[in-house]
Amino acid sequence: MSRGVRESISKHSFSSRMITIGIFLVLFSAHDLFSFSEAQQLQFGFYSETCPSAESIVGDVVKQAVTKDPGNAAVLLRLHFHDCFVEGCDGSILIKHEVNDDERFAPGNAGVGGFDVIDNAKSELERLCPGVVSCADIVALAARDAVIAAKGPFYEVPTGRRDGLTSDKSNAANLPDVEDSINILKSKFREKGLSDKDLVLLSAGAHTIGTTACFFIMSRLDAQDSTISPEFFQVLRLKCPKGGDVNVRIPLDWESQFVFDEQIFRNIRDGKGVIKSDSVLYQDNDMKNIIESYLASNESSEANFAADFAEAMVKMGVIGVKTGVQGEVRRICNATN
């Protein structure tokens, strides 16, 4: 284990006080969000009577998956993001068609995974509580539990989502992309009701864990992107040589790829952002100020990042949700009933 990772684990075993602050902010934000649309029908502990062990079952499956492969934490976090940004948080990304025209095959969803983990959780839930817990809720809960497994904050997830009935890769044509400019990224997030601060947290902040493929950075390396520090450019070029294997995986956070911490913001500030969509954030004054706020030398900076990230996750998790009689509760997650 590297020195950076050891220090991160020590620094980011979040205290109960920090978690309490995060939950308070999430609950406060959720109250505002739930005043509108179908989101108001979501609630904390939705399955407390119909399937009391639902959340613990999902948590156990996620813990096992991350223990087996620490990279699964980032995979499950990304799955939730990519689900919510298309048809809303309705599990539509899980549906699989025989002709490969579903969301999974959209270019913007290249490399999205974690489907087996969701299927495992669903199988166990169907054994104990058949027809009760939606796949959409499993995805949202699994993302939260993945964050916890990476030494991140606990936060309450409102549940009661219903599963969508359709999945079409053409609907995923406008996902945020690594090559997007800062203005395009802002626009895509605002279309979903998310703020510039949410963009920093859910895009760059979420990249505190996980990897990407050389495929996604080749163009900026070939163009000798000036936002990359000269020293780090050489590191990336060595890992992703011109004409090399574009499927080679590299960490998004070079210092602590398996630990939830604020190091990703330090990397971006220092010209060590791996993907372009992270680096461009620091070229915008408003985004730069948000990033710098999480690097302030005071005791509250880390707590603020943890709490703010949790709040942004809850906010994203209510995008376009289906509730009540909308949609369905799938028996298996990769196919409608």
Binding-site positions: 83, 86, 88, 90, 92, 176, 207-208, 253, 261
Catalytic residues: 82
Helix, strand, coil percent content, the chain, rounded in steps of 5: 55, 5, 40
* Closest to 204 (Cα-Cα) out of 288, 133, 132: 288
List, as residue ranges, the binding site for Ca(2+). Answer: 83, 86, 88, 90, 92, 208, 253, 261
What is the rounded distance in angstroms from the CA atom of residue 113 to the CA atom of residue 105? 12
Q: Which two tokens stand for residue 284?
A: 């915008």
List, as residue ranges, the binding site for substrate. Answer: 176
Task: Report DSSP state, residue 167.
Answer: -
Torsion of CA 79, 81, 86, 87, to 10 degrees: 80
What is the rounded distance in angstroms from the CA atom of residue 173 to the CA atom of residue 103? 9
Tell me the C-alpha to C-alpha distance, in Å, between residue 264 and each of 75, 178, 254, 267: 17, 16, 8, 5
